[in-house]
Amino acid sequence: MPDHAEIIVVGAGAAGLAAAIFVARRLPGRTILALDGAGRLGAKILVSGGGRCNIANRNAGSEDYCGSSRHIIRRVLAAFPPEQTVAFFAEIGVELREEEGGKLFPATGQARTVLDSLLAEARRCGVRLLTGHRVTGIQPSPDGLVVATGEHRFVADRVVLATGGQSLPKTGSDGFGYELARGLGHSLVPPVPALVPFVLDGNFHVPLSGIAHEVEIRVRAAGSDPARIRGAMLWTHFGVSGPAVLDASRHWHRARHEGRPIIVTANLLPGDDFAAAEARFMEFSARQPRLLLHNALATWLPARMADAVLASLDIAGRIPLGHLARDVRRRLLHALLDWPLPVRDGRGYNYAEVTAGGVPLQEIDPATMASRKCPGLYLAGEILDVDGRIGGFNFQWAWSSAWLAAKGLHSELAGS
Ligand SMILES: Cc1cc2nc3c(=O)[nH]c(=O)nc-3n(C[C@H](O)[C@H](O)[C@H](O)COP(=O)(O)OP(=O)(O)OC[C@H]3O[C@@H](n4cnc5c(N)ncnc54)[C@H](O)[C@@H]3O)c2cc1C
């Protein structure tokens, strides 16, 4: 006889743990089981935010996400906004500190605090957590949903699918959850890596490794409006990383997946267009006509970067500003405003912080996170077609969608 549980949560990462806690609090005394394939829970929480876990973002709004429906993203976030994340973590003993851009971290500076507190709360609420239970199939049956792991079979009245995406697969989120969703009648927006560095062709980037500066990345892909992302970019031995690049990567991957030609460039003078940059340059040159070009450029860019730009354009850096020919100045400015980033590839799922794509939001009821395809099934977290930019937005999605799933379960099961 298979074990019976009223609710089985498949995947005990951020969304799964939160869903199990929220539902256990609303429906005390029910049998709630959380199954996870990993030997140890919460590997992704522990590595997140550089080991500090950027748990949420105070300013999270639907514009911080991409996905199959902005309207549904807005509804889900509105149901459990960042203030409620702060309140929930305070309840379970995790005080949060805010950093620049609204990023929220545990005051201890340790992701471990977040994981331990979630696990303790899940246990306190009576959730049974089973590790080493990779779910290999979920089948509707007259008795409920049959959830199969290697050796066990469970029957559940309701299942919450919270298996995440496929970024950092060694943590246990290897994309198999998408197959489980498909097996239950869902379609998929094809998954692609997101929040991932770019590998560049050529070797322009190699000597610049370690330099970071502000840019505006532009991803121009045939068939869609250009994506423009402003923020820090870090040059590395393999290419480029840093927040602006990570945020740009989902656009590049999506376009490449769809076979659309893509051009990626960086405006090295973010905020300036050609007219503004030229006016600034002319004013500078009028004030200091004897200043050498490479010294002038080094006031706008890190000095090593300025030299590399000039060398790559074959422009002599030791020429005084007052002697710079108009066509050279214009060539330089055009290049600075649209510096090519010859992207060969992203670094892949082992380096991606999140997966773009997944179960389309139109296939869930946004009031309850219930599947519109399979009765008794609920979905939460990254398995859905939602990806946030860097800065705590992806965890916020996990908490919000988990909370709504618990609310949905409660309204369905409370009377039963
Ligand atoms: C390096 C890194 C750093 C990050 N830093 C941040 C950050 O600071 N802030 C932020 O907001 N986001 C961050 N993210 C993203 C964030 O971690 C995810 O968006 C979030 O964890 C998604 O939660 P989830 O519960 O949906 O999926 P996951 O956290 O991936 O959890 C899914 C769980 O399901 C289990 N599972 C998968 N398949 C099965 C199966 N078949 N059977 C049983 N169990 C299964 C997995 O073992 C896993 O425990 C980071 C991600 C990475 C990789």
| Nearest alpha carbon, ligand 1 atom 45 | 11
pLDDT of residue 150: 85
pLDDT of 86 higher than 80: yes
Tell me the average pLDDT across 302-306.
96
Q: Which residues of 46-55 are buried (b: 16+ CB within 10 A; e: fewer)?
A: bebbeebbbb
Tell me the average pLDDT across 409-415.
92
What confidence tens digit (pLDDT) does each residue in 266-276 have? Answer: 999 999 999 99
Confidence of residue 241 (pLDDT cuts 50, 70, 90): very high
Contact call for residues 148 and 137 (beta carbons, < 8 A): yes
Question: Within this chain, do residues 39 and 162 fall inside the same structural domain, yes or no?
Answer: yes
Give the number of the atom of ligand 1 that is nearest the alpha carbon of residue 53.
Answer: 8
Ligand 1 centroid distance, CA of 252 (Å): 22
E strand or H helix at 79: helix 70-79
Q: What would the two tokens of residue 319 be?
A: 């020429």
Give the number of the atom of ligand 1 that is nearest the alpha carbon of residue 133.
Answer: 43
Give the residue from 347, 375, 396 where a domain finishes: 347
Q: What is the residue range of 330's domain?
A: 197-347
Question: Within this chain, do residues 318 and 237 fall inside the same structural domain, yes or no?
Answer: yes
On average, the pLDDT of the chain sits at 97
Ligand 1 centroid distance, CA of 165 (Å): 7
Closest CA to 176 of 206, 149, 211: 149
Per DSSP, what are the bridge partners of residue 153?
A: 148
Q: Which residues of 215-244 are buried (b: 16+ CB within 10 A; e: fewer)?
A: bbbbbbbeeeeebebebebbbbebbbbbbb
Give the residue from 329, 347, 365 where a domain finishes: 347
Alpha carbon 367 to chain centroid, angstroms: 23
Question: Within this chain, do residues 154 and 201 fall inside the same structural domain, yes or no?
Answer: no
- What whole-number percentage of the chain has pLDDT above 70? 100
Question: Within this chain, do residues 338 and 374 fall inside the same structural domain, yes or no?
Answer: no
Tell me the average pLDDT across 161-183.
96
Contact call for residues 205 and 240 (beta carbons, < 8 A): yes
pLDDT of residue 2: 72
Task: Count the neighbouring beta carbons within 10 Å of the beta carbon of residue 90.
Answer: 11
Could you tell me which residues come within 8 angstroms of residue 311 by beta carbon, excluding any fewer than 6 positions away?
317
Helices (H), 200-273: 243-257
Please provide residue 386's backbone torsions phi and psi, each rounded to the nearest 5 degrees. -145, 130
Confidence of residue 415 (pLDDT cuts 50, 70, 90): confident
The number of C-alpha atoms within 13 Å of 35 and in the hemisphere containing its C-beta is 27
CA–CA separation, 160 and 385 (whole Å): 16
- In the block, tokens 């389309």 appear at 360
CA–CA separation, 125 and 119 (whole Å): 10
Alpha carbon 194 to chain centroid, angstroms: 6
Give the number of the atom of ligand 1 that is nearest the alpha carbon of residue 163.
Answer: 34
Ligand 1 centroid distance, CA of 209 (Å): 29
What confidence tens digit (pLDDT) does each residue in 16-31 have? Answer: 999 999 999 999 999 9
Task: Count the neighbouring beta carbons within 10 Å of the beta carbon of residue 206.
Answer: 13
Question: CATH number of the domain that 87 lies in?
Answer: 3.50.50.60
Q: What would the two tokens of residue 214 be?
A: 């502000």
Question: Within this chain, do residues 330 and 362 fall inside the same structural domain, yes or no?
Answer: no
Question: Within this chain, do residues 62 and 182 fall inside the same structural domain, yes or no?
Answer: yes
Closest CA to 72 of 360, 407, 356, 358: 360
CA–CA separation, 368 and 412 (whole Å): 9
Written as one string, the DSSP assignment of 328-340 is HHHHHHHHHHTEE
Contact call for residues 231 and 214 (beta carbons, < 8 A): yes
pTM metric for this prediction: 0.97
Verify whether ligand 1 is closer than 6 Å to residue 15 (CB atom).
Answer: yes
pLDDT of residue 1: 65
Tell me the average pLDDT across 82-102.
98
What confidence tens digit (pLDDT) does each residue in 59-83 have? Answer: 999 999 999 999 999 999 999 999 9
Give the number of the atom of ligand 1 that is nearest the alpha carbon of residue 16.
Answer: 25
Torsion of CA 106, 107, 113, 115, to 10 degrees: -10
Question: Within this chain, do residues 99 and 75 fall inside the same structural domain, yes or no?
Answer: yes
Contact call for residues 122 and 34 (beta carbons, < 8 A): yes
What confidence tens digit (pLDDT) does each residue in 120-160 have? Answer: 999 999 999 999 999 999 999 999 999 999 889 999 999 99
Question: Within this chain, do residues 92 and 135 fall inside the same structural domain, yes or no?
Answer: yes
Question: Within this chain, do residues 83 and 142 fall inside the same structural domain, yes or no?
Answer: yes
Verify whether ligand 1 is closer than 6 Å to residue 387 (CB atom).
Answer: no
Question: Within this chain, do residues 96 and 223 fall inside the same structural domain, yes or no?
Answer: no
Contact call for residues 201 and 238 (beta carbons, < 8 A): no
pLDDT of 308 higher than 90: yes
Verify whether ligand 1 is closer than 6 Å to residue 392 (CB atom).
Answer: yes
CA–CA separation, 53 and 394 (whole Å): 11
Distances from the Cα of 139 to the Cα of 30, 282, 369, angstroms: 22, 70, 19
Per DSSP, what are the bridge partners of residue 130?
A: 35
Ligand 1 centroid distance, CA of 243 (Å): 19
Overall number of domains in the chain: 2
Report the sign of the C-alpha dihedral through residues 256, 262, 268, 269, in that order.
negative
Give the residue from 304, 327, 347 where a domain finishes: 347
- Residue from 77, 130, 394 whose mutation best tests the ligand 1 pocket (most atoms within 8 A of CB): 394
Backbone region of residue 54 per phi and psi (left: phi > 0; alpha: psi in -120 to 50; beta: other values): beta
Closest CA to 218 of 266, 250, 252: 266
Question: Within this chain, do residues 10 and 33 fall inside the same structural domain, yes or no?
Answer: yes
Question: Within this chain, do residues 100 and 7 fall inside the same structural domain, yes or no?
Answer: yes
Verify whether ligand 1 is closer than 6 Å to residue 401 (CB atom).
Answer: no
